[in-house]
Amino acid sequence: MTTISTVLITGASSGIGAVYAERFARRGHNLVLVARDQARLEALAARLHEETKVAIDVLRADLTQPSDLAVVEARLREDASIGILINNAGLAQSGGFVAQDAQSIDRLIALNITALTRLANAIAPRLAQAGEGSIVNLGSVVGLSPEFGMTIYGATKAYVLFLSQGLSLELAPKGVYVQAVLPAGTHTEIWERAGIDINTLPELMKVDELVDAALAGFDSRELVTIPPLHVAERWDALDASRQLLLSDIRMASAAERYRTKG
């Protein structure tokens, strides 16, 4: 871009969002920091401004609340300086599917799917018209693996991956970069907020390492960045197999094994 774009980061008061804020501030980007905790947002903004001198706006919002979500959407639509969206805010899930109640399901979907989608939708038309900009969606490797047992959470993260792939097909020809970041377990407060004892989890990646890896993928314009994946060819093979499947599922007749023998 001709000028360094402003970055809007959701879930910015702690964890992954806060480290993204620090990294982009050190790159010289102005920031809009979005989260529920006003005091933590202001403390982070003050520290980063003191250290980097970039301009930082704080926007307190609970993205599960329609009125708060609408305020952030309006900012993304109307503020032409914002050229990068980091869709980071999210909730985790404790307990299996049968342990979930309607309220917890609604809140998980509202944040992990609805808010993320609507914020991307708010900024995408403007970026497409400008012919530049980026949307980064934080997913999870859990979205690739029902075996982890976090059924609803994993389903929301599978959605994030699919959405990002679809957005890239639509927006990349118009100059807009879309990245899906799929962390494995990362040492953040998301576990405590979900009621999960972090000491019961396997080894977790440090947040700084996760974000630095995600930014390396961002800089190289990867569509899907999986920081803990050491053998990149395994993702390539999985995606190639998926694309090969497309020729089969476009057939107009049922497979032989499903035909009634009469």
Contact 90, 111 (CB under 8 A): yes
**Rounded Cα distance, 170 and 168, in Å:** 5
**Rounded Cα distance, 247 and 240, in Å:** 12
Widest pairwise Cα distance in the chain: 79
Amino acid of residue 126: R
Angle between helices 151-171 and 116-130 (to 10 degrees): 10
- Could you tell me which of 43, 117, 37, 132 has the C-alpha nearest to residue 82? 132
Question: Among 20, 153, 159, 177, which one carries the catalytic annotation?
Answer: 153
Q: Tell me if residue 153 is catalytic.
A: yes
Structural tokens at position 30: 């102005």
Contact 122, 164 (CB under 8 A): no
Catalytic residues: 153
